[in-house]
Amino acid sequence: WSNLPKEHKLRKFSEALRDLLENAGYNEMYGIELEAPEGDQPAAHTTLIILQKFLRANVDDLAKAKDQLLHALKWRKDYQPLKVRDEVFDAEKFGKLGYVTRVKGAKETPNDEDVATFNVYGAVGKDIKKTFGDTDAFVRWRVALQELTLRELHLEQADKPIPDYGKGPDPYKSLAVHDYMSISFFRQPAEIKASSSKIIDMFQRYYPETVSYKYFVNVPLVMQWMMGAMKALMSKDSIQTMTWMTYGSELYKYLGQEVPKEYGGT
């Protein structure tokens, strides 16, 4: 990135950064302090990492990337997710619901080691309202888990460029595992639906290009059949970044032997 052509969209994005930061009144994204370039010097490598993520998320549409970054910065200024990350949450409500770990040998990435976030929905047990009844509290906990994941990516140490959209994988992403053991797809309580909808919308808006691949485990066969039918309505990019499986014990085939024992690890 030291010799980006003037017409390259990443360079143009970088040149527009000063105005974006002034408009937002905030300069932190994914734990990285964004710095506008000085004179003819390129922006800091870590800043370019973030800008490239927003470009890729918007299929190299610079105007859309700038707009999404601006809104994400404003949201972070208001929500303060780094402070949320350091909050202490009720262990009875959220203690077993999710965690961040590392895995080696994941089939779907070029990395030797990956950060993986496990979402264990069945851990809530029978008292659904205790965990999901307060939607804002649950969303706040889920944001904290996401920020812990981003911290484990160590973007401040990133030293490789991210390829332009369509020209290779981004090595600075995490993996996500969604475990649906004991969760009914057809009788989901309203509390779960409300929380899920809010998180999906929030993450699409404010956390682009943070997850490279999703694994849905302990999914009933009938639901897998339904998802197979839905693939006709999904984009090719979406289909290529997810795997569904009936048995969680098969996950080790995709993420290696270092996954927890319930997922086939050693």
Pick the CATH number of 84-263 from 3.40.525.10, 3.30.70.100, 3.30.450.40, 3.30.2130.10: 3.40.525.10
Stated pTM of the model:
0.91
Instruction: Output the pLDDT for position 205.
Output: 96
Mean pLDDT for the chain? Answer: 90
The bridge status of strand 242-244 relative to strand 211-217 is parallel
Q: Is 237 exposed, middle or buried (0-12, 13-18, 19+ CB in 10 A)?
A: exposed
**What span, in angstroms and rounded, lies between the C-alpha atoms of 83 and 143?**
10
pLDDT band with cut points at 50, 70 and 90 for residue 230: low
Give Cα 10 distance to the centre of its chain. 21
Per-residue pLDDT tens over the stretch 104-116:
999 999 999 999 9
The first and second tokens of residue 98, run together, are: 């999710």
DSSP 85-154: HTPPP-HHHHTTTEEEEEEE--TTSS-SEEEEEEEEGGGGTT-HHHHHSSHHHHHHHHHHHHHHHHHHHT
Per-residue pLDDT tens over the stretch 3-58:
888 899 999 999 999 999 999 999 999 999 999 998 888 799 999 999 999 999 99
32 beta partners: 29
- 225: nearest Cα among 244, 212, 211: 244
Residue range(s) in the chain whose domain bears CATH number 3.40.525.10:
84-263
The first and second tokens of residue 91, run together, are: 């262990």
146-182: string of b/e by CB count within 10 Å (b at 16+)? bbbbbbbbebeebeebbeebeeeebbbbbbbbbbbee
Contact by Cβ (8 Å): 128, 189: yes
